[in-house]
């Protein structure tokens, strides 16, 4: 079993709530999280089924983002997501105060407009896997949010912070402080980040559990597809990271849906990114922009809205082989 990385003391941040943090355990006792095999059913929203690893520090403080979006129609006050929990490493699930402060159910940020259910068109796919990577030099965060294509409901999520392969530790510390320190989540990154190869191993366990893919068979995803906001994530960044990590590009990354192209063809207007879509659709942002898991949730919310408006999600790009060129399937597309 792989050992999760634990960093030296993290950088200070105005967002941290130190009084609620439990002390660190010794590095030798930190285990990679186990995946709890909980079957999902179409039509039911299920929170991420990840067991807690024992022991690790709590998520109070830098394990969550403290920016609350406007939610005037919500009956319950918005709470930041526990980022130890999204990675299966929260040790305070029995702590009432912690549960009052932080969200442990991603479905609360992804409500469904059931009044628009009759407008949802039949989809060729059963599930959409919304992916939004973070990291310019190397991938730093790998979040996926699963949405049921017909019911529009949140089903599950996969979220890992990624430890760079070739960057020096000094550069990593500086990079993470600049990237995640402003959100107050640099400590949780250092506590939980694992190498990209391990992330893919855990992700493959996750998609195999959901019966989207089998290691023995390989090939494309079955009954599901990635949705990205642009082509960069799967056209450029994942292949780059695979080369850096010296691994072959997995077969399930060969095709995807670029939401920008679907948005352009459905609404007949261009959107340069997620923020433009949300502004045009008059949707408030949840959490913090450029925190991967929050961006993935917000893109998933746009997908829910488009499904409710009657959009059909289709594959927009395919790669013929691990080293081949990408073929774009829509004539009218964002370039």
Catalytic residue ranges: 134, 290
Assign residue 26 a region (left: φ > 0; alpha: ψ between -120 and 50; beta: otherwise): beta
Q: Are 20 and 98 in contact (CB under 8 A)?
A: yes
Q: Burial, 265: exposed, middle or buried (Cβ in 10 Å; 0-12, 13-18, 19+)?
A: middle
Q: Are 292 and 192 in contact (CB under 8 A)?
A: no
Q: Are 94 and 52 in contact (CB under 8 A)?
A: no
C-alpha distance from residue 150 to each of 127, 155, 189, 308 (Å): 8, 12, 34, 10
C-alpha distance from residue 230 to each of 76, 130, 235 (Å): 33, 12, 9
| Closest C-alpha to 127, from 48, 201, 44, 212 | 212
Give how far the C-alpha of residue 24 lies from the chain's centroid of Cα atoms, to the nearest Å.
Answer: 26
């Amino acid at each position: 079993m792989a050992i999760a990385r634990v960093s030296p003391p993290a950088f200070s941040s105005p967002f941290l709530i130190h009084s609620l943090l439990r002390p660190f355990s010794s590095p030798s006792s930190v285990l990679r999280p186990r995946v709890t095999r909980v079957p999902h059913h179409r039509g039911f929203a299920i929170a991420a089924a990840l067991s807690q690893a024992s022991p690790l520090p709590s998520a109070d403080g830098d394990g969550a983002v403290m920016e609350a979006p406007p939610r005037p129609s919500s009956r319950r006050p918005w709470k930041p997501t526990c980022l130890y929990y999204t990675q299966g490493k929260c040790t305070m699930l029995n702590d009432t105060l912690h549960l009052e402060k932080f969200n442990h159910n991603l479905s609360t940020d992804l409500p469904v407009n059931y009044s628009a259910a009759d407008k949802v068109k039949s989809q060729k796919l059963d599930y959409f896997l919304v992916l939004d990577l973070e990291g310019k030099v190397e991938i730093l965060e790998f979040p996926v949010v699963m949405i049921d294509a017909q019911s529009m409901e949140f089903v599950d999520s996969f979220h890992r912070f990624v430890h760079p392969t070739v960057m020096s530790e000094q550069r990593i510390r500086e990079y993470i402080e600049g990237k995640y320190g402003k959100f107050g989540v640099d400590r949780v990154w250092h506590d939980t980040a694992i190498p990209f190869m391990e992330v893919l191993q855990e992700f493959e366990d996750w998609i195999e559990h959901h019966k989207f893919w089998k290691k023995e068979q390989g090939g494309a995803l079955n009954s599901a597809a990635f949705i990205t906001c642009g082509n960069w994530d799967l056209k450029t960044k994942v292949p780059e990271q695979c080369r850096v990590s010296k691994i072959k590009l997995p077969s399930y990354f060969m095709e995807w849906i670029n939401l920008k192209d679907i948005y352009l063809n459905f609404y007949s207007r261009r959107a340069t990114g997620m923020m433009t879509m949300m502004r045009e659709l008059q949707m408030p942002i949840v959490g913090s922009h450029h925190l991967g898991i929050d961006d993935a949730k917000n893109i998933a919310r746009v997908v829910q809205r488009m499904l409710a408006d009657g959009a059909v999600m289709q594959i927009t790009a395919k790669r013929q082989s691990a080293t081949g060129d990408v073929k774009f399937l829509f004539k009218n597309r964002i370039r």
